[in-house]
Chains A and B, each alone.
Chain A
Amino acid sequence: MTAALVAEGVRKSYGDVTALDGVSLEIDPGEVFGLVGPNGAGKTTLVRALTGTTEVEGEISVLGSAPDRVEKSQIGLLPQSFSPAGRLTARELARQYAGLYDEARDPDAVLADVGIDGETAEQWYETLSGGQQRRVCVAIALVNDPDVLFLDEPTTGIDPAGRRALWGLLEDLASGGTTVLLTSHSMAEVERLSDRVGFLCDGRLAARGPPRELVESHGGRSRLLFETDASPTTLDVPGIGYDVSARNGHLVVEDVGPREIGDVVAAFENQGVEFESLTWKQPDLEDVYLELTGTSFEEAER
């Protein structure tokens, strides 16, 4: 199978700042690839490189062509911080961008897909809420029914219900064969939508793979957190020994399986440790992010 997107040794610098430092990746047709990383890690620069809107060193191929040669109707882009004309209505904006293609979807249908219809579609863009504005921007990116879709932080500012509606839409697109490159700071979003995730740190792809595999290899152990003022350093549970650490008002017991939670709680009570609440947390992509970006648990909990 020919990859939909290929980047090989992509480098980009802005003056002395290296934005991309030899990034290589391949994304298959119909795959949803989530790109995550800290601010300034190079995510937007990589999207720009793949869409041909910035010049880079290295090889890039989009649907088998160089980014500036690819048939424009086959790609859709939602740039980060994209802001269309404020005094056009949502419907006018969708029509404007639909009018740039030989064939485009019905603008009203695309707007309806992202939850913009009725009177909302007749409102000026600048009078819409931040979440509605972002939905209109997503509609603009979808109006040409692209084969490859680049979404740079598509759900920023969208409320939870709207976000879930967009996730459903993107899942439908992916199941229909659309290749999606998604950047986001929401690990839940990336974990839910992505077939594979790439972690970009300091311009390099530090890790990539299916979310579950990344969590297994980089996510660390499960944790049981007790909110308490006590500070024991060991905990005796019959048959099992646990190391206990105190972090920011919590006692943290690591590598506790769900069936062992009751034993650990009982052990605490037997030792006379009082606690306000407890939380059991399995490792997830956020832990992978913290591990790969070198952010400590303590820093993240602050």
Chain B
Amino acid sequence: MTRLGRISAEFTASWHAFLRRRTAVFFTFFFPAIIVVIFGALVQTQPTGGGLFAEPKGYYIAGYLAVVVLFTPLSRVGSTVARYREGRRFEKLATTPLTRVEWLLAQALVNVVVIGVAALLLLALSILVTGTNIPATPATLLVIPFVALGVVLFCGLGAIIGRIADSQDGVIAASNAIALPLLFLSETFVTPDLLPAWFRPALGFSPLTYVARGIRAVTYADATTVALPNLAAVVVLAVAFFVAGAYAVPRTD
């Protein structure tokens, strides 16, 4: 069996296992929907100034996408690692030809598909609910690699959390503790000018910042020149976190 065959076998199993957990499927897709309804329809934006959402509606598309790119893979992969460890599945897999990289890649691909669909739903809802416009240009297609690479990046981080946390409860707690600060300190919903000047350089330490900046550049600002450097940063970070995540996948006790 080729590497592709092994990844395919693991992908197929993980995909079916996910689809059959109805609660997980429901909330995976309900999550982006509720985000758009709360922030897009209830809170709304106030372009005239004041409040948290003072930018035009299109500004926040990147934030909405960042929510699903960040939260879902982080908690899903972290929980999957904990579940595999509790079921002694890594111990079994360690005696098969499947490598850690292949295992994490299969999990990441499942997440790319799931979150890709969720992101499409979110974009459609954003347009329907908030009435915002997304530029219909070839550059807008860069959203796809930003979302896919962002998912891979946070799958890697999820694997690291899964390795460190000793239970599924621990994974959820750790994921939330990491994701919430990242979400609000990555140029998603909170603009840099709302933060103290001394803190603003710290935004560069959040990998989500580059995802949000890139998506915003192609969905709102129509600034491909801004998108490409951020895409390069996301590529580097995705590779780094994926490799670190694969290394963190348990193979021994």
Contacts and interface: CB of A to CB of B under 8 A. Distances in A.
Contacts of A87: 16-17, 20-21
Given A76-B95, A85-B13, A124-B20, A54 B86 contact: no
B13 A55 contact: no
Contacts of B17: 85-88
Given A77-B91, A83-B87, A100 B9 contact: yes
Nearest to A51: B95
A54 B21 contact: no
Nearest to A47: B91
Interface of A is mostly: loop
Most central of B86, B88, B97, B253 by chain A CB within 10 Å = B88
A112 to B, nearest CB: 21
Contacts, number: 95
A101 interface: yes
A97 B98 CA distance: 10
A53 B16 contact: no
Given A88-B17, A95-B9, A101 B92 contact: no
A53 B100 CA distance: 13
Interface in B46-105: 86-89, 91-98
Q: What range describes how many residues of B lie at the interface?
A: 20 to 34
Nearest to A97: B96
A79 B91 contact: yes
B73 to A, nearest CB: 19
A259 B12 CA distance: 65
Interface in B1-27: 1, 5-6, 8-10, 12-14, 16-17, 20-21
Given A53-B95, A55-B252, A96 B88 contact: no
Interface in A41-84: 48, 51-55, 72-73, 75-84
A16 B248 CA distance: 26
Given A53-B91, A77-B91, A96 B252 contact: no
A171 interface: no
Contacts of A83: 86-89
B200 interface: no
27 contacts: A48-B91, A53-B251, A53-B252, A53-B253, A54-B253, A55-B252, A72-B96, A73-B97, A77-B92, A78-B92, A79-B91, A79-B92, A81-B88, A82-B88, A82-B91, A82-B92, A84-B87, A84-B89, A85-B17, A88-B16, A92-B13, A99-B6, A99-B9, A100-B93, A100-B96, A101-B1, A101-B97
